[in-house]
Structure 1
Amino acid sequence: MNAAGAVGPAAVAAQVAAVVAGAPLLAGLMRQVRARLEGRAGPGIAQPWRDLRKLMRKEPITPVGTGPAFRTAPLLLVASTAVVAALMPLASTATPAGVRSDLILVVALLALGTVALALAGLDTGTAFGGMGASREMTVAALVEPTILLAVFALSIPAGSTNLAAIVSGGIHDSARLASPAGLLATAALAVAVLAETGRLPVDNPATHLELTMVHEAMVLEYAGPDLALVELGAHMRLTVLLGLLASLAAPWGIATTASAAAVALGLVLFAVKVALLGAALAAAEVFWAKLRLFRIPELLAGSFLLALLAVTASYFLTGE
């Protein structure tokens, strides 16, 4: 195998390693930014990694009466998100996995993790688990079509639903990113990312109030290593979705050739862009209030409408 052929698999492995290792650090950075803006010292950026290490050392506990859905959901969540990290053009578009990074496949893998956690919440047989699963699937039913339409609007000029092709087209024709279709798609995708990752104003990851929980209600019965996997999977999903947003809205710096130096630069810029997006999101959450549960569908319906308008605008602009 020549040097160019060896860089592709190495780039895929580097992307996955960067997501797994950097996701808890991103969560720690966001917590630290929020703590500073609220006048607190904060626990430090590496605190999520310390929490995961502590959980991994505890004894695994499985509630009585749960089945395979509860036991396999954490591993399935982490595994599906790792596959998404391998498929996405986060640092390079010239990877062996790039030819398989179809939009529908990526969204289906993200939905797989959501469904796994919802089934785990139902499997516990508790009122909170069922409530959280119901709310999560309601949000997912509105978010997944929005992600599909938003990215599809950007795929029309590229002529392909392959994410690597979409990002490559954005790099070589940056004017399309500032077009009405590109701006509408980016806005719709940003709202969808907030809902998919359970951030404010859709959900509050720091709360355990019974009437407002969505994601936390599904994972209340987890403990020890299983809870560590759930937390790691949630951090990875946030990193991957912010990476998707950064790759589509600001693809500059992503490698388009099988060059080790270009891939290394792409990884560094990927970390910088995701860190900036995470810090901006954490800063905004200080000033945002959580929406009432019955107002969330209105917000998500608005983002869906933006994505639909983006598709319409992209179709007519490309037709010209």
Structure 2
Amino acid sequence: MIAWITAVAQAVLVAAVAPLLIGFMRAVRARLEGRAGGRLVQPWRDLRKLLRKEPIIPADAGMIFTAAPLVLMATSVLVAAAAPYLSTGGPLSGVADLIVVVGLLLLGTVALALAGLDTGTAFGGMGASREMTIAALVEPTLLLAVFALSTRVGSTDLGAIVAAGAADPAAVFTPASALAAAALAIATLAEAGRLPVDNPATHLELTMVHEAMVLEYAGRDLALVEWASAMRLTILLGLLANLFIPWGVASSPHPAALAVGAAVFVVKLAVLGGLLAAGEVFVAKLRLFRVPELLAGSFVLGLLAVVASAVLA
């Protein structure tokens, strides 16, 4: 029962913190750019306003367009409940397998891309095409980056990797882990649609990737898409933090340990989110044809990390 409560608590924590993380990152960017910026809770206010509005469905859209926000949100909640954020153990340990987690993230990406195609608009199809081009390079990179750690542990279960890293760092982390961390960081930027791969604040149609697929959404559907997108960024940053900085994650279901794990998790998110927001101030968006080169480089880093980890084992 405690394990199930922990899983639900993780999902609720990620869902609650995700909009605040977006607000914090916007505030950091605004401060560095010399602007006043909005309040930390502004994303939550935007979601509340959108949830009160009726969704608008295009005339040419079908069932896929309607179901995509629910699929995107459901996969995000499932990954948030299963991944080792507060505790290394839980009732969904089988779902927390690396391949399953990456598959769930890809399922949400495919659902949103199909929704962009389902509208029949030029921008929707353009964004879907670009999104799947990026996903074809990002998902293998996510797998390889974590495989570099799993080869040392002997398991692809994320909870087992985090537990082993916290218990015996010398046996899990090698110089090759720096390559894996870099590959996972680049893949996180691409998967979450952040600079330099995509600009989440853009209003230029020809440069859109994620925004081009959601132009036709409104009301509750748009709220679910934006909320799920914020959760996916939180999920990926949380995995990056706990896999390579595993300290603070509870190894037992004791309430005090879980409370400490939640506090440490929020601090890790704040640090990584602040660094990401600060970096975006000084980085420009890459040209679309240069993005595959960046992602191919991250794939090579992940591959080198796996080979080096296997050799050093």
Q: TM-score range by the shorter chain?
A: over 0.9
RMSD: 0.9
State whether structure 2 residue 188 is matched by structure 1 residue 193: yes
Rounded to whole Å, the distance in 1 between the matches of 2:207 and 2:84 is 35
1:267 to 252, 262, 265: 262
CA–CA distance in 2 between the matches of 1:273 and 1:213?
29
Structure 2: which amino acid aligns with 1:58? Answer: K
2:258 counterpart of 1:258: no
Aligned to 1:60, the other structure's residue is in SS state coil
TM-score by length of 2: 0.98
- Out of 290, 297, 306, the residue aligned to residue 302 of structure 1 is 297
The CA deviation at 1:7 is: 2.4
Does the 8 Å CA contact 1:7/1:260 hold for their aligned counterparts? no
Is the aligned partner of 1:210 residue 2:202?
Answer: no
Unaligned runs of at least 5 residues, structure 2: none
Q: Is the 8 A contact 1:99 1:164 kept in 2?
A: no
Deviates more, 1:168-177 or 1:238-247: 168-177
Mapped partners of 1:147, 1:84: distance in 2: 15
Q: Are residue 63 (structure 1) and residue 58 (structure 2) matched?
A: yes
Contact persistence 1:193–1:242 (CA under 8 A): yes
Deviation string 1:99-128 (CA, Å, 9 cap, x unpaired) is 431100000000000000000000000000
Superposed CA offset, 1:124-174 (max 9, x none): 000000000000000000000000011011101110001011111110122
Q: 1:247 aligns with which of 233, 239, 242?
A: 242
1:56-205 aligned at under 5 Å gives the runs: 56-176=51-171, 178-205=173-200
The structural deviation recorded for 1:177 is 5.7
Provide the rounded CA distance (Å) in 2 between the counterparts of 1:94 and 1:127. Answer: 46
Q: Secondary structure at the match of 1:101?
A: coil
CA contact (8 A) 2:85 2:242 kept: yes
Query: Contact 2:152 / 2:172 at 8 angstroms: preserved in 1?
Result: no
- Whether the 8 Å CA contact 1:146–1:189 is kept in 2: the answer is yes
Secondary structure of the corresponding residue to residue 98 of structure 1: coil
Runs (4 or more) in structure 1 with deviation over 6 Å come to none
Describe the SS at the equivalent of 2:256: helix
Distance (Å, rounded) in 2 between the aligned partners of 1:25 and 1:195: 21
Are 1:289 and 2:284 an aligned pair? yes
Give, as a single letter, the amino acid of the residue that structure 1 aligns with 2:255.
A
Aligned length: 313
Query: What are the superposed Cα offsets for residues 3-39 of structure 1, whole Å, 9 maximum, x if unpaired?
Result: xxx3211211110000111100000000010001111
Where does the alignment leave 5 or more consecutive residues of structure 1 unmatched? 1-5
- Aligned counterparts of 1:59 and 1:8: Cα–Cα separation in 2: 37
Report the TM-score when normalising by structure 1.
0.96
The amino acid that maps onto 1:130 is G
The answer (yes or no) to whether the contact 2:165–2:173 under 8 Å persists in 1 is no
- Cα offset, 1:208, TM superposition: 1.8
Question: What CA distance in whole angstroms lies between the structure 2 residues aligned with 1:262 and 1:184?
Answer: 31
Identity %: 66
* Cα offsets for 1:48-72 (capped at 9, x unmatched): 0000111111122111011111001
> Bigger shift: 168-177 or 262-271?
168-177
